[in-house]
Amino acid sequence: MRYRVPPSDILIVNQDKVIFSSGVGRLTRQQQISATVAQVLTLFSQRLLGNEPLRFIRFDNHRLIFLGSQKPRFPSLVALVLVPLEVSVRRVIPSMKIVLRLMEEFLEGKIEDVSIDQLDCYNRVMNFPSQSLFLFPKTAEGIRSALVLLTGYAHDFQVSIERVTSRMFFVVEQDFLSIENIIEKVDNLGVLSFLPLPDHLKSPSNKFCEIGSESPRRQFFSALPPEKPFKTLARVFGSYSNAFKMASFIDNDETLEIAQSIAMLDKKYDVYVRNEILLSTIMKPGRDVVATLSSHLLSKMKEISGQEEISSPTNASINRVYNDINTVYNDVTGPEITVDQALDRIDGFVTLENVERVYKMGDQQIYALKNVSLNLASGQLVVVLGPSGSGKTTLLNVIGGIDKCEGSITVGNVEVTRLSKKKLTKYRREKCGFIFQFFNLIPVLTAMENIEYAVELSKSRKMSQKEVRTKTEEYLKKVGLLEKKDLFPSQLSGGEQQQVAAARAFAKEPKILLCDEPTGELSVKEGKKVLAVIQEIVNDRPEILVVLVTHNQKISLIGNQVIRLRSGEIDSIVFQTPTPADEITW
């Protein structure tokens, strides 16, 4: 089977010069876009369209997309991306941003060696993983690198990864014959290798990209000693990516031990490793990665005869490894995991699968949400954008456990849609924070007392009055209202009341913060203050997920991810670099 050439093109222009291009050349040949024209379009994007980081222009049967540099030192650096209308933009843009970031680092002198062929291959592999080939060493580092790569595809690029796993191969290092056979037999647009390949296998050079190979020069894809390969890959995805978070989750001795044991399994179990252990782990990621990995490994080991040997230098038996992994598994999870324990360990990874909310009006069914499937990650500010009646508030309510729905909503390792009323109350009280459009402050309590009351209710352990007071003052100071702590809501302006409501939500230290039109009743000046505080919280607390609902297009610029709803369905998902709240206006 022969795969078609990737349909998207990228052209990076700096100071009237093309410094990188990749694809089939539509930008320079078919559409006759020269560097001079590209510069004109860049100026058009930056000056007439308000210098927004992402802008779409219809160009024949393509979208022409502008990605502007986020560094003031390079105001003329821009990537022009040409994407056919039938191709999902949200699959293409994240990897294009990585290429643009590489160019920024190159221009700053942080990278000494940039291989255009290597970039060209990387560009195609990232955009078309189901048509590419991935080679990993059959080692613990290979297993961990595969986890990071799959996380990036699934949760950063929003790619369906079931077909990707079938194109992943684990190979014994230095077994160049096996590597050569794989490359020859599997048609591909490019090869991403975590193994150092001999020169005779890397032909043509624009089909091969190596990750983590040591280099005396500072290269984007090369390990920075003593950097591990999976950390190199995480750095390529970027510090704000979910791949980067996964790398931090698995950078510990427990995961290393599990990964070593997985690598010991015989080659005939590679399909199980790819499709069950790795795939299941990244589909419901979180801080209990060790527990998820070890549970799948234990399940497979129970099926294997105790007499069978694992191929390893020490010929360790299945039984011994089984006992070792079982010990690690119990250390992490305990012999049994109760719902309360799972709720205590919950993190900000949220997965929605085929979520629907239907209201009946006589014989008519009204869909507030219809077939909504999403992956939302901690450390992100996700903006849900749409007109009135599009399902924005309903989406917040089902995530927060306020409203019921069909389908499945999983937070961390807890399926909240199956919780009892008592457990659901615990989830809302301890794990979710809410900021409402109309403040919802208790009028007979002062600003300080409103926050203290919420803190006392939300904590599973008893806190002293001094602890509660210290936490309350900390968050009042964060929103700039400590001096007004003794005032009642009626003595505060609308913006100040919303800031108190925000401090109340922050002081609970939730894993998920849900904001329903938090600026809807505020002036632009007051609204920007509230948004700035929300952005600050996301930057300070990478474990929190913030979902903010608005109908205001301008406010959506503050988010890492923008989900547009229309009539209860997802209309589009866009990933972007957030704009500071004080730089937007409406």
Bridge pairing between strands 545-550 and 512-516: parallel
pLDDT, one tens digit per residue, over 307-331 is 444 443 333 444 555 555 455 445 4
pLDDT of residue 91: 64
Q: Any idea what DSSP says for residue 113?
A: B
Tokens 């011994």 correspond to 320
CATH superfamily of 350-583: P-loop containing nucleotide triphosphate hydrolases (3.40.50.300)
pLDDT for 332 equals 42
C-alpha span between 236 and 99 (Å, rounded)? 9
Q: From 3.40.50, 3.10.450, 3.30.70, 2.60.40, which CATH number describes the 122-251 domain?
A: 3.40.50
Global pTM value? 0.53
Name the 3-class secondary structure at 207: helix
> What's the sign of the alpha-carbon dihedral 295, 300, 301, 302?
positive
Ranges of CATH 3.40.50.300 domains, the chain: 350-583
CATH of domain 9-110: 3.30.450.30
According to the model, what pLDDT value does residue 399 have? Answer: 92
Of 376, 354, 310, which Cα lies nearest the Cα of 155?
376
pLDDT at 41: 55
Helices (H), 376-488: 392-399, 421-431, 447-458, 465-478
Structure tokens at 88: 């999902």
pLDDT at 549: 93
Using an 8 Å Cβ cutoff, are 277 and 262 in contact?
yes
**CA atoms in the 13 A half-sphere facing the CB of 578:** 21
- Regions of the chain where pLDDT drops below 50: 1-6, 30-36, 45, 47-54, 216-217, 287, 305-318, 325, 328-329, 331-337
- Give strand pairing partners of 317: 309
Predicted pLDDT of residue 4: 43
What is the pLDDT, as a whole number, of residue 223? Answer: 56
| Long-range contacts, stretch 243-247, CB < 8 angstroms, 24+ apart | 243/148, 243/149, 243/151, 243/152, 243/155, 243/156, 245/151, 245/285, 245/377, 245/378, 245/379, 245/542, 246/147, 246/148, 246/151, 246/152, 246/282, 246/285, 246/289, 247/144, 247/148
Omega before 229 cis (within 30°)? Answer: no
Q: Is 191 helix (H, G, I), strand (E, B) or coil?
A: strand
- Beta-sheet strands, E only, within 184-261: 191-193, 208-210
Locate CATH 3.30.450.30 in the chain: 9-110
Q: What is the predicted pLDDT for the residue at 260? A: 86
